[in-house]
Amino acid sequence: MEKDRLSRRAALAGLAGTAGALGLGGGTAVAAPSGRRLRVLVATNEPWGTYHVKPLLAEAARRGWRLTQLVPDLAQIKPGDPVPVSTPEDAPRADLLVVTGAGDWPLKCAARFGRLPVVASSLAYLGPKEAPEAWRLRWRLRAVTSSSPAEGRAFAGYLGIHRRVRIVGSPQTDDLPVRRPEAGLVLVLTSVTRPDGTGGSAPGTELLLAAAERLQSSGRRVLVGLHPREDRRLWERYEISAVPSIQAAARAEAAVGIPGTVFPMIAAVGTPVVGCVDPALTVPHYLLAVCSSTVGQVAEVERAVASARLPSAAVLRDAVGPVGGSAARLLDAWSRAVPGFPR
């Protein structure tokens, strides 16, 4: 088991030292910050989606940096959320604005903080089609980062850019668990059933619900990894994981879900994934490429799970990116985008 884990890490580690060139674009210069403590504002396509920033907190704290996520209001922030948040009106002084996409909220924040240098960092998957308003951001981007080469290509298409994207890996893979699969256990990865102010929903939930029921009735044990915005009540008949899905994947023989950002990370753990697809669903090709197979009907799910296999090492490297030290590489890329920030 440990030998398999080490070989999987070796296959993924090849990109650790080969981050893409950091392209510098235009932007309004600001005075160099005093000291070495960077002050960063983050605006995500999911305005209240603090779960995208949470994996960066430990590395930011180690450096003494201050990360603040911009939100429209505090109404949807749960008590005890560890991610510091602020409305734009009350935002602290900052040296850098990071946007995770070109949705309405990041664009509003970019317009409000017009003198800050801007970095675009892909912290969750976006479709490869160019965002209608991406042109509003392009001229201000001092750096673009993504977790993997495959995600970087999709992110470049989304932003409508032709420059190199710095590949930093995903902070969520910085501490991959040791895989110890339990016989008969399947991890069901949920998406979002109903849209809300933070973001949209994903077609395919009905198929996924039926697949979970079919797997359980066939004798499989079902462990559910909930998306942070999913309706927990839909899945309470099953065991719901108390730990993040990446950690939960270490227990499973296979995982099944609607293809999303977590799929390459689950495969990086060593757990094969099966994708539930819907005709209305559009996802980047690389998320489908990490799937052992995809199913469009509930009758297909048992066989797909029973025969689930990992993708090739080349596909895995392309989709996952470098493993280990990703949060540090990401924050390094941010610091390089700030004029005068000491190296």
The pLDDT tens digits for 72-104 are 999 889 899 999 999 999 999 999 999 999 999
- pLDDT tens for residues 38-59? 999 999 998 998 988 999 999 9
- pLDDT tens for residues 279-338? 777 788 999 999 999 998 999 999 999 999 999 999 999 999 999 999 999 999 999 999
Q: Order of strands, edge to edge, in the sheet holding 273-276? A: 239-240, 221-225, 185-189, 254-257, 273-276, 291-295
Straight-line distance from the first to the last Cα atom of the chain, in angstroms, rounded to the nearest whole number: 40
Percent of the chain whose pLDDT exceeds 90: 66
pLDDT at 112: 97
Dihedral angle computed from the Cα positions of residues 322, 328, 331 and 336, in that order, rounded to the nearest 10 degrees = -90
| CA–CA separation, 326 and 27 (whole Å) | 26
pLDDT at 35: 54
Per-residue CA distances from 26 to 29, 116, 140, 332 (Å) = 9, 11, 5, 19
What is the mean predicted confidence (pLDDT) over 229-257? 87
Structure token pair of residue 211? 């697949």
Question: Which residues fall within 8 angstroms of residue 213, CB to CB, at 6 or more apart?
Answer: none
Residue 33: CB atoms within 10 A of its CB come to 19
| CA–CA separation, 291 and 306 (whole Å) | 14
Range with the poorest average pLDDT among 117-131, 188-202, 268-282: 188-202
> Of 194, 188, 199, whose CA–CA distance to 231 is shortest?
194
> Of 94, 99, 168, whose CA–CA distance to 134 is shortest?
99
pLDDT at 206: 84
| Dihedrals phi, psi of 90, to nearest 5 degrees | -110, 10
Range with the poorest average pLDDT among 173-177, 198-202, 223-227, 303-307: 198-202
When the pLDDT of each residue in the chain is averaged and rounded to a whole number, the result is 86
Indicate if the pLDDT at residue 18 is higher than 50. Answer: no
pLDDT at 90: 96
pLDDT at 134: 96
Tokens 């209001």 belong to which residue? 73
**Selected residue with higher pLDDT from 3 and 309:** 309
| CA–CA separation, 249 and 242 (whole Å) | 12
pLDDT at 15: 36
pLDDT at 29: 29
pLDDT at 267: 97
What is the mean predicted confidence (pLDDT) over 199-226? 82
pLDDT at 110: 98
Q: How confident is the model at residue 230 (pLDDT cuts 50, 70, 90)?
A: low
pLDDT at 124: 83
**Selected residue with higher pLDDT from 1 and 202:** 202
Range with the poorest average pLDDT among 223-227, 311-315, 337-341: 223-227
Indicate if the pLDDT at residue 30 is higher than 60. Answer: no
Longest CA span, the chain: 63
Structure token pair of residue 333? 């890329």
Indicate if the pLDDT at residue 250 is higher than 60. Answer: yes
- pLDDT tens for residues 137-151? 999 999 999 999 999
Question: Which residues fall within 8 angstroms of residue 260, CB to CB, at 6 or more apart?
Answer: 125, 189, 191, 202, 227, 283, 287
Task: Name the packing angle between helices 149-159 and 313-320 (round to 10°).
Answer: 50
Give me the sign of the Cα torsion angle 271, 276, 281, 286.
positive
